[in-house]
Amino acid sequence: MAKGVRQYDELAKYYDLLYAWKDYRKEGVIIAELIQRYKESTGSSLLDVGCGTGEHIMQLRGRFECTGLDVNEAMLEQARRKVQGVRFVKGNMMDFDLGRKYDVVICLFSAIGFVKTYPNLARTLRNFAKHLKEGGVVIVEPWLTRETASDGYISVLTRGSDDLKVTRVDYSRVKNGLSVIDERIVVAEKGKGISTYRDRMVLALFERDEFLRLMRQAGLRARYLKKSLAPGRGLYVGVKA
Ligand SMILES: C[S@@+](CC[C@H](N)C(=O)[O-])C[C@H]1O[C@@H](n2cnc3c(N)ncnc32)[C@H](O)[C@@H]1O
């Protein structure tokens, strides 16, 4: 779970600034194309699980009747502030129960990695399938695998304006089959001064064969696509049988 990840708590208000490099518009186009290609049900209801600040929903809401779900209230607050007329609900992807079924479930930008273990992944995929109509489609954008994760990877990012700047330094390790990302975040804001934060994100490195096996076990016709939103990640697509 994302519990304790500061970027999703008190730093949620800087999330969109830190990820301004991400082309959500283009990603929305790719996701809409994949839905059109694989969805067999006739409706247009869409659930974005781990929706964060609602950036994908902003792109998809014109074509789909969207709902957003996230475990983190601070992220949901940002989403509700930006996107009016869409329901954003708090829930854990492993056990949420919205009491209805959707034509599309999406779970993007590595949110799935936060479930950390294969038993949790199996539960989560079963829950996605439970919320899908027959012929509905699920699209999951994974985090890295053991093969693609790089131990000791360093990255630095600075974003902002003259009045507000955020710098984030990451150091990524591979530990016990998990991706552990230690971060230091510095926020400098005019009139307020400087605040520094420590953060740690722990994500699973799920292997492709096992991911596909668990999707199939959940009752989904599953495939892995090389087509990616982020380079090298690929996408999992499942259709509810
Ligand atoms: C990297 S962000 C991605 C947000 C959004 N999908 C995007 O593309 O910008 C990961 C999101 O997953 C959420 N998350 C993590 N664990 C979760 C869980 N168990 N259930 C629901 N949401 C979760 C976090 O709160 C965070 O908003």
Domains and CATH numbers, the chain: 6-145+205-240 (3.40.50.150), 153-204 (2.20.130.10)
Tell which wins on pLDDT, 10 or 138.
138
Q: Is the pLDDT of residue 163 over 70?
A: yes
Query: Secondary structure of the chain: what % helix, strand, coil (to 5)?
Result: 30, 35, 35
- Pocket probe mutation, ligand 1, options 3, 5, 7, 8, max atoms within 8 Å of Cβ: 8
Give residues (CB < 6 A) around ligand 1: 1-2, 8, 50-52, 55-56, 70-72, 75, 92-94, 108-111, 114-115
Q: Is 39 helix (H, G, I), strand (E, B) or coil?
A: coil
Which protein residue has the closest C-alpha to ligand 1 atom 27? 52
pTM passes above 0.75: yes
User: Which atom belonging to ligand 1 lies closest to the Cα atom of 52?
Assistant: 27
Q: How many CB atoms lie within 10 A of CB 66?
A: 27
* Residue-level pLDDT at 4: 67
Q: Is the pLDDT of residue 70 over 50?
A: yes
pLDDT averaged over the chain?
Answer: 96
CA of 72 to the centre of ligand 1 (A): 8
Task: Name 200's Cβ contacts closer than 8 Å, sequence gap at least 6.
Answer: 4, 5, 180, 181, 182, 183
| Cα–Cα dist 182/12, whole Å | 17
Q: Which residue has the tokens 């475990």?
A: 71
| Cα–Cα dist 150/182, whole Å | 14
Spatial CA neighbour of 118 closest among 9, 233, 225, 206: 206
* Residue-level pLDDT at 110: 97
Tell which wins on pLDDT, 5 or 180.
180
* Residue-level pLDDT at 1: 43
Q: Quick one: which H or E segment has residue 136? A: strand 132-140
| Cα–Cα dist 184/170, whole Å | 7
* Residue-level pLDDT at 65: 98
* Residue-level pLDDT at 7: 83
| For residues 84-110, average pLDDT | 98
Provide Rg for the chain, Cα atoms. 18
Torsion from C-alpha of 143, 169, 183, 150, nearest 10 degrees: 40
What does the pLDDT look like over 174-201, one tens digit per residue? 999 899 999 999 999 999 999 999 999 9
Spatial CA neighbour of 197 closest among 8, 49, 48, 65: 8
